[in-house]
């Protein structure tokens, strides 16, 4: 009801809305390996290795401000259809509604609720099955500018994530995270900070002890004119899935380094490396250590034609309390390259076409595969 009320408020007060962006998109993807099958493995009865996937999606970014308070609704909602593997047809939703509140001009925060719903990546599942993952996230933050160049913030998140397929319900999770940060900005181009977070994860259908993840990081952001931005963090993470034997934990360095270079108004190049602790009800593990490296370039060929190219590599090492569930896989590695062309037919109408190739390797019973996806989409913005 809250989501509907927010949307109605934005529609009825269009002249007073600070932001009202709505876009629609239709897309088709031909995937050479939709079921994420290893080479030589036949699809299950009624399934097809390749498939043509069609989707329709609406993107919303609505907000209404009164004084220091702003309510908002943002995100996407759509549906995905398959030509052959119709059992994978599923809604695809990611919506956030909330209040960007202000107590004074120097103090404020955010209260928000987010709902995500989508089909799990088949490469993460133990079998080729329909599994809808639904995640609800509730967030609250509060922060103040202590002086002109100091900022302090604290907050908490509560997450519930569940699976529709009975075989995956031992991976359902509930997580509570709290933390804070302190930042110092000596000038308009630099920000330095310290952050702390503590996350407790429960798997209620598993009965295992709570997983505790603690992260402490030092952060730095620096902008060099309009041509270069740097964002870095270095810290220490501890993750423990319980005490006693057969409970491997992780303790080590984590952080990220990202750079964005704009050598001209028509070209932007970015690169990023991230190492951190993650968790998800998509995978049969208490948590994982993820290393991700990515590079991308965007080029404006003409005012109406743009091009992009990107590559990424993701490595994950999985950890579990072996007293409560076996480790389905200890690692996976995914490589991807992508290229696309964007053509703006009109100011509010854009066509995108491209290709992406993925290769994945794991020691699990399934999930080693390669796939090529050829895609085209039509987007309309308001």
The pLDDT of residue 84: 97
pTM listed for this prediction? 0.90
Q: What does the DSSP assignment read for 177-239? A: EEEEEEEEEEETTEEEEEEEEEEEEE-TTTTPPPEEEEEEEEEEEEEETTTEEEEEEEEEEEE
The total of other beta-carbon atoms located within 10 Å of residue 21's CB is 13
Inter-residue contact 248 to 287 (CB < 8 Å): no
CB of 164 closer than 8 Å to CB of 176? no
Q: Is the pLDDT of residue 95 over 50?
A: yes
Distance (Å, rounded) from C-alpha 191 to C-alpha 153?
A: 14
The token pair that represents 78 in the structure block:
């759509």
Query: How many CB atoms within 10 Å of residue 150?
Result: 12
Q: Which domain holds residue 289?
A: 2-43+51-381
Burial class (CB in 10 A: 0-12, 13-18, 19+), 158: middle
What's the rounded mean pLDDT across residues 34-48? 93
The mean per-residue pLDDT over the stretch 372-379 comes to 97
Instruction: Say which CATH number the domain at 362 has.
Output: 2.40.160.100
Q: Which two tokens stand for residue 14?
A: 């269009």
**14: confidence class by pLDDT, cuts 50, 70, 90:** very low
CA distances from 99 to 110, 158, 241 (A): 6, 17, 35
What's the domain count of the chain?
1
Give the dihedral of Cα atoms 319, 238, 172, 75; nearest 10 deg: -120
């Amino acid at each position: 009801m809250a989501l509907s009320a927010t949307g109605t408020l934005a529609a009825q007060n269009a002249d007073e809305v600070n932001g009202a962006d709505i876009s629609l998109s239709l897309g088709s993807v031909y995937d050479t390996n939709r079921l994420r099958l290893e080479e030589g493995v036949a699809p299950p009865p009624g399934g097809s290795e390749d498939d043509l996937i069609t989707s329709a999606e609406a993107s919303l970014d609505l907000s209404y401000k009164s004084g220091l308070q702003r309510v908002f609704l943002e995100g996407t909602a759509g549906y995905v259809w398959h030509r052959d593997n119709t059992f994978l047809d599923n809604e695809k939703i990611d919506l956030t509604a909330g209040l960007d509140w202000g107590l004074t001009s120097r103090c404020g925060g955010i209260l928000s609720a987010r709902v995500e719903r989508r089909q799990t990546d088949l490469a993460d599942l133990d079998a080729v099955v329909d599994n809808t993952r639904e995640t609800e996230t509730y967030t609250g933050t509060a922060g103040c500018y202590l002086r002109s160049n100091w900022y302090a913030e604290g907050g908490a998140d509560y997450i519930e994530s569940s699976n529709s397929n009975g075989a995956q319900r031992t991976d359902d999770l509930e997580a509570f995270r709290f933390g804070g940060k302190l930042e110092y900005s000596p000038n308009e181009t630099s920000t330095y900070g310290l952050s702390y977070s503590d996350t407790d994860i429960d798997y209620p259908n598993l009965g295992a002890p709570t997983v505790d993840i603690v992260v402490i990081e030092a952060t730095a952001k620096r902008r060099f004119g309009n041509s270069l931005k740097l964002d870095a963090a270095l810290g220490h993470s501890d993750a423990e899935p319980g005490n006693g034997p057969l409970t491997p934990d992780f303790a080590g360095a984590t952080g990220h380094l990202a750079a964005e270079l704009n050598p001209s108004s028509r070209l932007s190049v970015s690169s990023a490396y991230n190492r951190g602790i993650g968790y998800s009800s998509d995978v049969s593990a208490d948590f994982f250590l993820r290393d991700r490296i990515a590079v991308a370039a965007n080029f404006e060929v003409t005012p109406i034609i743009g091009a992009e190219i990107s590559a990424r590599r993701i490595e994950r090492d999985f950890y579990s309390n072996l007293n409560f569930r076996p480790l389905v896989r200890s690692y996976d590695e995914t490589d991807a390259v992508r290229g696309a062309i964007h053509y703006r037919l009109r100011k509010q109408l854009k066509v995108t076409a491209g290709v992406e190739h993925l290769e994945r390797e794991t020691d699990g019973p399934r999930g080693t595969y390669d796939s090529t996806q050829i895609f085209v989409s039509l987007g309309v913005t308001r």
